[in-house]
Amino acid sequence: MAVLLALPLMGQVRTGNIFGRVVDQEGNPLPGVSVTLSCLLTAPMTTITSSEGTFRFLSLSPAKDYTIKLELTGFKTKIETGIIVNVGTNTSLTLVMEQGVLEEQITVTAVTPMVDTKKTAVGTNVTQKVLQSLPTARDPWVILQMAPSIIVDRENVWGSESGQHSNYVTQGSATYNNNVWVMDGIVITDPAAIGASPSYYDFDAFEEMQITVGGADVTVQTGGIALNMVTRRGGNRVSLGGRFYMVDEKFQAENAEKVAELKKKEPGLVGINRIRNNKDYGFNMGMPIVKDKAWLWASYGIQDIKTNIVFGTSDETLLENYAAKINPQLIPANRFEAFVHIGGKKKWGRSATAQNPEGLYQQGRYHFGSPIVKFQDEHMFGNNFFLSLKYNY
């Protein structure tokens, strides 16, 4: 029984929770309050406060625009907006209702402070706004590099190292074999290279990344670094996004003195690692299939990386990514999710040497790339029983 009960914990969460308590102006708990949670990403959900005035909403997609509405006969209706939910965090609220007639209403518009008293893990949450705002190369290893106490073995200048797996370590974990990769609640760590990622990714597909470096709970299988990546999802508002980034050799300088010094040590060298033309482009969309009932999100991304190595020969990488997610919620207490991610890689010029200047051509087993698939259903039975069933490959 202990083994069976532990199986659902094999992976980090892709959601957050809201825990709340409703009191009157004197601090006494209010039972029987109707609590309605709404957001663009979900259908409205309603619960009733317990005899202690408490309520909870579990397994919520990360967002910054949740709204809670409180209703109780003899008290003014209260609306709290701008509630933030992050991945792997618990948003705790204490909401005060004032006595008054039923028609009166109070609306509080403010971002709720995030103090998670239930969490002991040491780590960093990187939101979608931060992912899009920071002027970095666009892959998860660069995000790992920015987290405190993590050391990565290379600098990724303008995406020239994207498509290459970086090694990284942190305090208490001197080997990358302890690291864990998670995407949308699926442990995807490469079974053929323990601690490594099995794929490369469309950077615009992510809503949030959570990096854990210590004090992890039972959802993290090892004591190393855990990177938990959560992709975006559709909502009631139609969203379209696209990008095109490019850098070519004109943006890169050359330290002539250093190159001359290196050529003396290694006669076969002809210059530095040269960026010829790197491009990153793609698009994504989200939309309601049926408003407040079912939503669709999908993305497509390309990274086309063309460089020269120090021997002067070509080193080229093509990364192609597809992702899609469907979220039906036919009844408020039940949420279903179907997710697929396909990452493909083609490589020209690997292992080039003076004897083999053209290097090798390599690609994955499948034409479109390696698939990651997940089906998950969650149901809340009352306030005290939450069931989550998941299959992934």
Which stretches of 166-298 are DSSP H helices?
256-265
Q: Is 150 or 353 the better-scoring residue by pLDDT?
A: 150
Tokens 């864990």, located at residue: 180
> What is the separation, in whole angstroms, between the first and last Cα of the chain?
24
Q: Is 191 or 390 the better-scoring residue by pLDDT?
A: 390
Most confident of 84-93, 150-159, 236-245, 267-276: 236-245
pLDDT for the residue 123: 74
- DSSP 8-state symbol, 173: B
Length of the chain measured in residues? 393
Cβ within 8 Å of residue 193, ≥6 positions away: none
Report whether pLDDT(10) > 50: no
Tokens 């469309």, located at residue: 202
pLDDT for the residue 9: 41
**Overall average pLDDT of the 261-285 stretch:** 85
Report whether pLDDT(5) > 70: no
Count of Cβ atoms closer than 10 Å to residue 380 Cβ:
20
Report whether pLDDT(333) > 80: yes
pLDDT for the residue 88: 83
Domains, the chain, in order of start with CATH, read 2-109 (2.60.40.1120), 122-229 (2.170.130.10), 239-392 (no CATH)
pLDDT for the residue 158: 85
pLDDT for the residue 182: 92
pLDDT for the residue 346: 94
**Overall average pLDDT of the 40-60 stretch:** 91
Tokens 């669709």, located at residue: 296
As a dihedral over the C-alpha atoms of residue 117, residue 381, residue 228, residue 158, rounded to 10 degrees, the angle is -110
Amino acid at 206: F
For the record, the structure tokens of 261 come out as 């010094």
Report whether pLDDT(107) > 80: no
pLDDT for the residue 374: 96
CA 30 – CA 356 distance, rounded (Å): 76
**Overall average pLDDT of the 51-55 stretch:** 92
Average pLDDT, the chain: 86
Report whether pLDDT(345) > 90: yes
**Overall average pLDDT of the 174-190 stretch:** 87
As a dihedral over the C-alpha atoms of residue 11, residue 46, residue 55, residue 40, rounded to 10 degrees, the angle is 50
pLDDT for the residue 8: 40
pLDDT for the residue 383: 76
**pLDDT tens for residues 284-298?**
999 999 999 999 999
CA 9 – CA 376 distance, rounded (Å): 14
For the record, the structure tokens of 89 come out as 């965090």
pLDDT band at 205 (very low <50, low <70, confident <90, very high): very high
pLDDT band at 353 (very low <50, low <70, confident <90, very high): confident
Lowest mean pLDDT segment, chosen from 20-29, 201-210, 253-262, 362-371:
253-262
pLDDT for the residue 41: 87
Report whether pLDDT(360) > 60: yes
Report whether pLDDT(126) > 60: yes
CA 255 – CA 158 distance, rounded (Å): 18
Whole-number percent of the chain with pLDDT over 90: 45
Q: Is 157 or 11 the better-scoring residue by pLDDT?
A: 157
* Rg, C-alpha atoms of the chain: 25
**pLDDT tens for residues 131-162?**
888 888 888 999 888 888 888 998 888 888 88
> Can you name the residues that pair with 388 across neighbouring β-strands?
378
Report whether pLDDT(244) > 70: yes
Please report how many Cα atoms fall inside a 13 Å half-sphere around the Cα of residue 276, on the Cβ side.
13
pLDDT for the residue 104: 67
Contact 157, 273 (CB under 8 A): no
pLDDT for the residue 115: 61
pLDDT for the residue 56: 92
Tokens 């209010």, located at residue: 30
pLDDT for the residue 125: 83
Lowest mean pLDDT segment, chosen from 7-11, 93-97, 110-114, 240-244:
7-11
Cβ within 8 Å of residue 65, ≥6 positions away: 39, 40, 81, 82, 83
pLDDT for the residue 102: 57
Whole-number percent of the chain with pLDDT over 70: 92
Report whether pLDDT(127) > 50: yes
